[in-house]
């Protein structure tokens, strides 16, 4: 029934009743859906809020990460700078001390020495103080310790060795006289260290690497107004005779020419060495020098001994003269780089030498013993230093007794059968390390005040 304005009631039709019921049902549904929508909207609002929060957090983390990365890079750069500074300071201290620096390099055991590897004759102490600088030779089960400026273990690469001498080499461009020489028993790795395999990327030695560095640095210094001229000479001392390795005349030596004045060694007041009649070649690139090095290597006296298939039977002296001028700074510098591969010491009984080889061995041993006489006299600060007793010591006089920056690399074999020789070499090296020479001096001048320094 449906009520009317005057109170009378009209009966509800079934159709109307159905509509009313449906309407009530839909109203309920709408209310429920509105509730659900409100809840969903609330949830969305909350999740929007948390997504903004997450995003902000992520951005903050990203920023922090970037900041930390920058700080890490800065810290790493500081460590590298610190290491460079430490090396520089170490070098400066060494220079101020004025002594000849010594690096020791132990070569790996060779394949034919494999059987000997059971007993270790060389060990490396691991204490903080001796790490990288100490070496022990084990004789009759007893370790005999030595300490040098640096010790390279058998696994050290040619590059690692070069990295340690690169600053020294570089200083030749600043006007210093630099001398690096390799000393050691025959077959201990001197030629490998100095020359290596010149064409090979990994195996090339100190000489080719030094030249590459010098020519690269020359290119960089050009931008600062420096112009450099370089000249190369190479000689060997074979049986107390100087041979010019760059001479086109094959038999060039004092012996064969009969001319006593040829290849006479002279030192001038500036401590520069001149060898008369020696071929001096102007060079403009490390490629040109490599070509000359190959030529010299072919002319060098090499022989086969029981101890070394390719034994150097002479002392090899490579000299690079560097002359730099900077017009803007009105400065000029004169540097010299001497790189020397000595012939190896060996005991006659062990070498099995006869004939020519015996004569060579005797000459090598004589000049090396003159070298040790000079070192002993220098170490004891004697008044008379017997530089003139051999061609080698006379030629090296400015490096041993002068104001050059000198480094000796003592090469050692790890073979137990070489223990006695290794001990001899290391004892000699320790003496060399104790030798005080003058503080290195740069050869530099104001270009227009003193136009040319005397040098050969």
Ligand X SMILES: Nc1ncnc2c1ncn2[C@@H]1O[C@H](COP(=O)(O)OP(=O)(O)OP(=O)(O)O)[C@@H](O)[C@H]1O
Nearer to ligand X (CB atom), residue 90 or residue 347: 347
d(CA 184, CA 346): 9
Window of 185-193, 213-221, 314-322, 330-338 that interacts with Mg ion by CB under 5 A: 185-193
> Is residue 314 within the footprint of Mg ion (CB under 5 A)?
no
Candidates 99, 121, 188, 191; binder of Mg ion (CB under 5 A) is 191
Candidates 82, 98, 108, 145; binder of ligand X (CB under 6 A) is 108
**107 is in the binding site of which of ligand X, Mg ion, none (Cβ under 5 to 8 A by kind)?**
ligand X
Alpha-carbon distances, residue 447 vs 230, 271, 330, 455 (angstroms):
18, 20, 5, 15
Token reading at 17: 């009743």
d(CA 365, CA 359): 10
184 is in an annotated binding site: yes
Nearer to ligand X (CB atom), residue 162 or residue 176: 162
d(CA 382, CA 397): 15
191 is in an annotated binding site: yes
Q: Is 231 exposed, middle or buried (0-12, 13-18, 19+ CB in 10 A)?
A: middle
Candidates 185, 273, 305, 312; binder of Mg ion (CB under 5 A) is 312
d(CA 305, CA 328): 55
Window of 135-143, 189-197, 351-359, 438-446 that interacts with ligand X by CB under 6 A: 189-197
Q: For residue 247, how far is the Cα from the chain centroid?
A: 32
Q: Nearest approach, Cβ of 413 to ligand X (angstroms)?
A: 8
97 is in an annotated binding site: no
Window of 32-40, 169-177, 208-216, 306-314 that interacts with ligand X by CB under 6 A: 306-314
H-helix or E-strand spanning residue 250:
none
> Is residue 416 within the footprint of ligand X (CB under 6 A)?
no
Q: Which residue is nearest to ligand X (CB)?
A: 344
Candidates 121, 171, 191, 254; binder of ligand X (CB under 6 A) is 191
Alpha-carbon distances, residue 185 vs 334, 424, 426 (angstroms):
34, 9, 10
Q: Nearest approach, Cβ of 343 to Mg ion (angstroms)?
A: 7
d(CA 380, CA 408): 19
Q: For residue 66, how far is the Cα from the chain centroid?
A: 34
Nearer to ligand X (CB atom), residue 308 or residue 338: 308
Q: Nearest approach, Cβ of 73 to ligand X (angstroms)?
A: 35
> Is residue 310 within the footprint of ligand X (CB under 6 A)?
yes
Nearest to 453 by CA among 271, 303, 286, 280: 271
> Is residue 205 within the footprint of ligand X (CB under 6 A)?
no
Quick one: DSSP state of residue 322? E
Show binding-site residues.
184-191
Contact residues toward ligand X (CB under 6 A) are 107-108, 110, 184, 186-192, 308, 310-312, 343-344, 411
Contact residues toward Mg ion (CB under 5 A) are 190-191, 312
């Amino acid at each position: 029934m449906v009520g009317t304005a005057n109170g009378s009631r009209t009966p509800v039709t079934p159709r109307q009743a159905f509509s009313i019921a449906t309407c009530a049902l839909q109203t309920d549904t709408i209310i429920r859906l509105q509730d659900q929508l409100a809840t969903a909207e609330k949830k969305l609002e909350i999740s929007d809020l948390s997504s903004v929060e997450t995003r902000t957090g992520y951005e903050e983390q990203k920023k922090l990460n970037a900041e930390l990365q920058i700080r890490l890079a800065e810290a790493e750069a500081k460590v590298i700078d610190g290491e460079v500074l430490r090396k520089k300071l170490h070098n400066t201290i060494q220079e101020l001390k004025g002594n000849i620096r010594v690096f020791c390099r132990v070569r790996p055991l060779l394949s034919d020495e494999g059987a000997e590897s059971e007993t270790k004759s060389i060990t490396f102490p691991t204490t903080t103080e001796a790490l990288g600088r100490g070496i022990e030779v084990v004789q009759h089960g007893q370790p005999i310790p030595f300490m040098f400026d640096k010790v390279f273990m058998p696994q050290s690469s040619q590059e690692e060795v070069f990295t340690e001498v690169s600053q020294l080499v570089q200083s030749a461009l600043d006007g210093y006289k630099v001398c690096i020489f390799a000393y050691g028993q025959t077959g201990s790795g001197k030629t490998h260290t100095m020359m290596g395999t010149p064409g090979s990327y990994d195996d090339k030695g100190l000489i080719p690497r030094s030249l590459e560095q010098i020519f690269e640095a020359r290119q960089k210094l050009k931008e600062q107004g420096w112009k450099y001229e370089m000249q190369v000479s190479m000689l060997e001392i074979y049986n107390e005779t100087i041979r010019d390795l760059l001479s086109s005349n094959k038999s060039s030596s004092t012996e064969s020419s009969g001319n006593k004045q040829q290849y006479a060694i002279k030192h001038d007041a500036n401590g520069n060495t001149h060898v008369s009649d020696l071929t001096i070649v102007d060079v403009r690139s490390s490629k040109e020098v490599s070509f000359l090095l190959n030529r010299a290597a072919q002319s060098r006296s090499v022989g086969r001994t029981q101890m070394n298939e390719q034994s150097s039977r002479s002392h090899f002296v490579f000299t690079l003269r560097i002359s730099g001028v900077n017009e803007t700074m009105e400065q000029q510098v004169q540097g010299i780089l001497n790189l020397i591969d000595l012939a190896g010491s060996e005991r006659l009984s062990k070498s099995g030498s006869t004939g020519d080889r015996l004569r060579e061995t005797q000459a090598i041993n004589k000049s090396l013993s003159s070298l040790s006489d000079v070192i002993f006299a220098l170490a004891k600060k004697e008044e008379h230093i017997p530089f003139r007793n051999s061609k080698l010591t006379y030629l090296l006089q400015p490096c041993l007794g002068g104001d050059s920056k000198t480094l000796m690399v003592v090469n050692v074999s790890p073979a137990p059968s070489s223990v006695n020789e290794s001990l001899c070499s290391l004892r000699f090296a320790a003496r060399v390390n104790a030798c005080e020479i003058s503080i290195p001096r740069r050869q530099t001048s104001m270009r227009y005040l003193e136009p040319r320094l005397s040098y050969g």
